[in-house]
Amino acid sequence: MRGLIAAFTYIAAGAAVGCFSAYALIQSSGVEHLQSGTPWISRGLGLAGPWNYHARAHYLIAGRLPPAPGQLTEATAETDDDNQPLTSSCRYRLTATSPLPRWWSLAVAESASANATVQATADSDNVIREADGSLSIVASVSPEPGNWLKTPVARRLTVIYSAVPANNQKFTSPPPFDVKREACR
């Protein structure tokens, strides 16, 4: 009996390690930091590279599809500019740092599951610019004046930037937004 239990334990532990390593490999494969000093990462090149199977699996596990290649660019941030994880207990300001593409969108979703019921977006068609032309969006749980992205109540958040690049913009350019933490509860 003890032998059977030991055998089951070895096999179950091996299977668990195998599943965990597969999941970890899928989540980390094909991920590229777009620019040092920014929190933005992309799987765009991963989808076209040797790890494309794993990069696609990342999307499939979340029940979603990757952006249309050559049409849309997508980057995500799971940390702020100071490399601290994004969490709903803090308020963040996303500020445009350079010219924006003709169409862009910022979404905040719960990490990993990208839960549809708590996704909020701001895009080029519905944001309000300041009088001097600058643009900033506050992401927080409670309402803020100006452009506001409602963040879901979650331990970890993901900001998703999508854009249709202009003809002279590269698909691998980092999103032109800073992600600064302002205050935490």
Partner 1 sequence: MMRHLFWLAVALAAAMTAHAAFTLFVPGWLFAREVARMASANGTNTFFILPPEDQAQLFPGLPRQGVTGICLFDVSAANVTFSADLPDGFWVATIYTDKAEAIYSVNHRQSGSNIFNVSLSLAPDLIESLVMATDKERPEIDSGWTVMSPEPRGLAVVWYPITEAGLRAGAAEAVGRSRCGPEKSARPQ
Span near partner 1 by CB under 8 A; candidates 35-43, 119-127, 142-150, 171-179: 119-127
CB neighbours of 53 closer than 8 A, spacing ≥ 6?
none
Q: How far is the CB of 46 from partner 1 (least distance, A)?
A: 12
Written as one letter, the residue type at 184 is C
Q: 32, 45 in Cβ contact below 8 A?
A: yes
Per-residue string for binding with partner 1, 37-76, x by CB under 8 A? ---------------xxx-xxxxxx-xxxxxxxxxx-x--
Q: Which residues of 32-57 are buried (b: 16+ CB within 10 A; e: fewer)?
A: eebeeebbbbbbbbbbeeebbebbbb
With residue 93 as reference, give the H or E element that holds it.
strand 90-96
**Does 168 sit near partner 1 (CB under 8 A)?**
no
Near partner 1 by CB under 8 A: residue from 160, 165, 174, 176:
160
Sign of CA dihedral 58, 125, 89, 36: positive
* Contact flag: residue 15 with partner 1 (CB under 8 A): yes
14 binds partner 1, rule: CB under 8 A: yes
Cβ closest to partner 1, residue 127 vs residue 141: 127
Choose, by CB under 8 A, the member of 79, 105, 147, 151 that binds partner 1: 105
Cα(182)–Cα(185) distance, integer angstroms: 11
Q: How many CA atoms lie within 13 A of 137 on its CB side?
A: 26
User: Is residue 164 near partner 1 by the rule CB under 8 A?
Assistant: yes
112 binds partner 1 (CB under 8 A): no
23 binds partner 1 (CB under 8 A): yes
Strand boundaries in 127-174, DSSP class E: 136-140, 148-150, 157-164
**By CB under 8 A, is residue 182 in contact with partner 1?**
no
Interface residues toward partner 1, by CB under 8 A:
6-7, 10-19, 21-23, 25-26, 52-54, 56-61, 63-72, 74, 103, 105, 107, 109, 114, 116-117, 119, 121, 123, 125-126, 160-162, 164
